[in-house]
Amino acid sequence: MRTCREKAIEWGVSVRTANDLCNKGKVPGAVKVGKSWEIPDEAEKPVDGRVRYGQYVKNLPTGEPRPLPVGISDYIRAQSEYYYVDKTLLIKEFLDRKALVSLFTRPRRFGKTLNMDMLRVFFELSKEDTSKYFSDKKIWKCGEKYREHQGKYPVIFLTFKDVKFETWEATFAKIGELLQEEFGKHSELKDSKQLEKYEQVYFQKVMDGVANEVELSSSLQRLSKMLTEHYGKAPIIIIDEYDTPIQEGYSKEFYDEIIGFMRNFLSGAFKDNRYLSFGFLTGILRIAQESIFSGLNNLTVSSVMEEEYDEYFGFTGAEVRDMLAYYNASEKMTEVKSWYDGYCFGTKEMYNPWSVINYISKGFLPQIYWANTGRNEILEDVLKIATDEISEKLYALMKGDRVIARIDQNVVYRSIAEDPDNIYSLLLVAGYLKAPKKELQSDGSWLCEVSIPNREIAAVYRSEILSHLLQIGAITRSTSNKILESLYALDWTRLQIGITEYLNKSISYYDAGAEGFYHGLVLGLIAIMDNQYKIKSNRESGDGRYDICLFPKEQKYPGIIMELKSENHLDDEALSSLSLKALEQIDEKNYDVEMKAEGVVKILKLGIAFSGKNVKISQRL
């Protein structure tokens, strides 16, 4: 047996790469002694550095249902060991179109990485017969003209989904590690007689982790050239989640550095690269305004708006029905639909795959799964810059209404501050909105009716708004708990105290007398009380239009009617009088007619008056 360092020198790779090969089970006979690996003397480095296909495929017990692939993005493993939703016709659609470079933009956790790994396994050259992983799939039934592409191309594969760091230096170091690993997977080039000496020197420099930023920015172009020279066939380049480090650069203030690097890095790979058979990229956004893809006229973009490839990211209704039937839970279809359906990709209505498989895996428990897969920076940014108009539209969305919005697919994060209306474009491509009705405009943008897709995303909106209000100090957790606990205990006195406390703290944050206070008040109430109440505002009832009504979803809770009035420069006595006037208006205008018609017995009436940063509430139950 030899040490990992000794074999690394023999193989011409870094010690880190050799350790990684052992950790991933790619070196037969390797054993761990303490914290170090020992490798058999005769062990050979894997030819292409990849997992030897089939070495970890388990034989599942006959008759037992397969588990669902929660967090599995490895195609071989997913289709061999788990319940796999067959998306291989993506390969057929691509080969029919044969775009030189394809960019797929979809929300996170919608199967992009798994699909890209499927493409890698299908197209990649291998000493083993990898057709066995497709022989029972839909693509194999499409004919020889598709099967002839299987296993015929060298492939460069990078995923940036985990490149999430605080600084540019750490981000660049991680990108360097990923390239070092990818070069290591093509170690056959190190001694290739088809390569020039300077190419081998460059190859080793990347392998040793000493290439600088300029040298790494051209690494994809140079690696594709070397692979073409060695194999006599240009490679396929796949880059998964290309915009993850760009998003981090935006939020961590190294945007210019990452944009500058990625512009050269991606242009070298995909623009005028004659050593390229095909290219694939995935991400959430199409980063166009920074000219990352400037001049790349061979780029075909498949976004949430286009019909191309619309059914291959996410689950269709038929696929979800089949899955529920497989797990003997067909009766759960209505529940799954209300929680996780509703995304509109092209002409298809799609389910969130991450949430569906977690829902089934957790024993059919409906709850928020998707929000826990990453931070919701987009909603945070929306709330930071929300104008009165945006707040009003956000309120309408939370009520379940549709709003009209212009959607620009080329929008980028930093454009929010320049034009807050861009938030709808970001929310749509990131999966927080759907566009059931859309119309293409002459400038390439879309005029859409947008709405919240499902109950899961509605809950995300509520939780994020509540978190935002807590962060800015508009309310405290104890205040929101007081309101919820009083509802649970049917303690109306404490409920009045909680709402009064909430209003006092809200008025101390929002500009008193401005529309922002009204909208913030309503959004905060929805965030706190939406599970118990259906909240309406500015609706006709009786002989006028009430300000805010909270209709209980269960009869054990009281209905709540709020009438708001505001005047400047009032003393305490005048403010109390104004609140009584607001309370009397509720009765005079018969605002409780709608509630009584719905069978609400107990109705809490609140006359709310504010002047400057002072608030007074008069109440009657």
85 located within any domain:
yes
Please state, as a whole number, how many other Cβ atoms lie within 10 Å of the Cβ of residue 252: 17
Q: For residue 52, what pLDDT is reported?
A: 39
* Predicted confidence (pLDDT) per residue in 338-393, tens digit: 999 999 998 899 999 999 999 999 999 999 998 754 555 666 666 666 666 777 77
Number of structural domains (the chain) is 5
For 327-408, where are the alpha helices, taking DSSP H only? 333-340, 353-361, 377-385, 388-398
Q: Is residue 64 part of a domain?
A: no
Burial of 215 (0-12, 13-18, 19+ CB in 10 A): middle
Verify that 353 and 400 share a domain, yes or no: no
Domain around 323:
317-365
Bridge-based pairing of strands 278-283 and 236-240 is parallel
- State whether 479 and 611 are in the same domain: yes
Residue 509: enclosing H or E segment and its boundaries? helix 492-509
Query: Is-contact 90 311, C-beta < 8 A?
Result: no
278 and 330 share a domain?
A: no
- Of 428, 456, 484, the residue that ends a domain is 456
Which CATH number goes with the domain that contains 158?
A: 3.40.50
Q: Which amino acid belongs to residue 341?
A: D
Please state the length of the chain.
Answer: 621
pLDDT above 60 (res 44): yes
As given in the structure block, the two tokens for residue 474 are 């508009």
Sign of CA dihedral 197, 199, 205, 211: positive
Name the nearest CA neighbour of 184 among 160, 203, 162, 167: 203
Q: 398 in a domain, yes or no?
A: yes
What mean pLDDT, rounded, does the chain reach? 84
501 and 582 housed in the same domain: yes
Structural domain contains residue 202: no
Query: 301 has which bridge partners?
Result: 103
The helix, strand and coil proportions of the chain, stated in percent and rounded to the nearest 5, come to 45, 15, 40
pLDDT in tens, 117-171: 999 999 999 988 999 999 999 999 999 999 999 999 999 999 999 999 999 999 9
**Cβ–Cβ under 8 Å, residues 533 and 551:** yes
**438 in a domain, yes or no?**
yes
Which of these three, 365, 387, 405, is where a domain ends? 365
DSSP state of 130: G
227, 189 in Cβ contact below 8 A? Answer: yes
Q: Are residues 285 and 154 in the same domain?
A: yes
pLDDT-wise least confident of 5-19, 133-147, 269-283: 5-19
Which residues, 6+ apart, have CB-to-CB distance to 539 below 8 Å? Answer: 545, 546, 549, 594
Query: Is residue 102 included in any domain, yes or no?
Result: yes
Q: Give all strands (DSSP E) within 188-329, no chain letters.
A: 236-240, 278-283, 299-302
Residues 347 and 415 in one domain: no
Say yes or no: 391 and 361 in one domain.
no
Q: Who has greater pLDDT, 63 or 111? A: 111
Are 479 and 436 contained in the same domain?
no
Same structural domain, 108 and 145: yes
- Whether 58 maps to a domain, the answer reads no
pLDDT of residue 73 exceeding 90, the answer is: yes
- The residue among 300, 301, 278, 240 whose CA lies nearest residue 124 is 278
Q: Is residue 565 part of a domain?
A: yes
Do residues 341 and 274 share a domain? no
Integer Cα distance of 403 and 390 in angstroms: 10
